[in-house]
Amino acid sequence: MISKQASFRTLMDDIKISIRFAVKNLITFLLGMVGVLIVTGLLMGLVFGLIMLLLSVLIGFDAIVTFFMSLGVLLADSNALAALPLVGLFVLPMLSPLFIALGALYGIGREIVESAGATAEGAFVWYRSKFLSLAGGGIIIALFILGPLLVGFWLVLLLAGPVLSVSSQAILTAVTVAWILLAPGLVSMVFPAIIDGHSVVSAVKTSLRMSRDHFDRVLSTWLSFVLMALVILAPTTVSQTILLSGFVDALPWTALLGGAAAIFTFTVLLPSLIIAQTRVYMILSGEDVPLESQETLPDMRLVGGV
């Protein structure tokens, strides 16, 4: 039985095993992602068309044009936050196929953890069988992450006004960054739980419970991949800064670094994250997980891992 407690050795094993599985199943994940993204694009277009058709029937085409023009004015001025809920009414339903596509990849991750292999067709099986659950789970994840931020911004604007002091802006920025880093980790077990057969509500509860009871194990996995992504994207950010400073010669390097970083992120890092989170979920759920090679590293406990 693999330990549920977090330690440096356990974290390194999680990362190494997930990256090894991701590289081993690179073609499977790539074909699965391309396939579900094509279907997702078609579905997003269909959802947008249905929304526009419904609105045309209910309020008329002229009213739709007027509404979007008014929305554009709101987004352009200092009261843009007031328009965000209205934007969300359109954006979240349109993004639901994207949530389903991402969740379907967790199905591939589950197959890989269980049998060290999977097929690209498996993504479509999970896409179809968990369609509504994955869409609902994705929308709840988005609301969980963005909802508190919007409420917080509104409260700040209400109490402090549209013009904030430098110190207030710094505090607001720090809190926002901290929440954006923390919140996705708290709900990172939602998709693995849905793939495991939980309902949307049950999956959210399971994810929050695991994040509470095994805070260090769940969060360390998520933050490790965030850190790796930042390291990978750092050279691109630096080259873009140099380019904006007027060094036009940096343009080829910026394009090369950006392309390489994007390819590695979506073909290796994202599948590795999916596999790692799926594996952690199965371990914390008490399910049998094939014991892979465990490198002997110093067993240094992480925060709370006692």
Per-residue model confidence as pLDDT tens digits over 57-90: 887 777 777 777 776 665 665 555 555 566 666 6
Q: Does any domain span residue 291?
A: no
Domain presence at residue 215? no
Within-domain flag for 188:
no
CB atoms within 10 A of CB 128: 11
Residue 138: Cβ within 10 Å count: 24
pLDDT in tens, 106-128: 999 999 998 866 777 888 889 88
Backbone angles phi, psi at 2, to 5 degrees: -75, 140
- 199 belongs to a structural domain: no
Selection from 67-71, 92-96, 248-252 with the highest mean pLDDT? 92-96
pLDDT reported for residue 249? 61
The whole-chain average pLDDT of the chain stands at 81
What pLDDT is stored for residue 74 in this prediction?
59
Q: What is the pLDDT of residue 32?
A: 87
Residue 252 in domain:
yes
Angle at CA 165, nearest 5°, toward 159 and 166? 140
154 in a structural domain: no
Residue bearing the bigger pLDDT, 92 or 180? 180
128 in a structural domain: yes
Confidence of residue 302 (pLDDT cuts 50, 70, 90): very low
**Structural domain includes residue 171:** no
In the structure, what pLDDT confidence band is assigned to residue 4 with cuts at 50, 70 and 90?
Answer: confident
Count of CB atoms within 10 A of residue 140's CB? Answer: 19
Please report which confidence band the pLDDT of residue 46 belongs to, taking 50, 70 and 90 as the band edges: confident
Tell me what pLDDT residue 306 has.
38
Model-level pTM? Answer: 0.82
Give the pLDDT confidence of 195-248 residue by residue, as tens digits: 999 999 999 999 999 999 999 999 999 999 999 999 988 877 776 666 666 665
Average pLDDT over residues 264-281: 94
* φ and ψ of 207, to 5 deg: -65, -45
Q: How many structural domains compose the chain?
A: 1
Looking at per-residue pLDDT, the higher value among 292 and 150 belongs to: 150
Cβ density class 144-175: b for 16+ within 10 Å, e for less:
bbbeebeeeeeebbeeeeeeeeeeeeeebeee
Inter-residue contact 169 to 229 (CB < 8 Å): no
Could you list the residue range(s) of the whole structural domain that residue 80 is in? 8-132+220-284
Average pLDDT over residues 139-160: 84
97, 98, 102, 105: CA torsion to nearest 10: 60
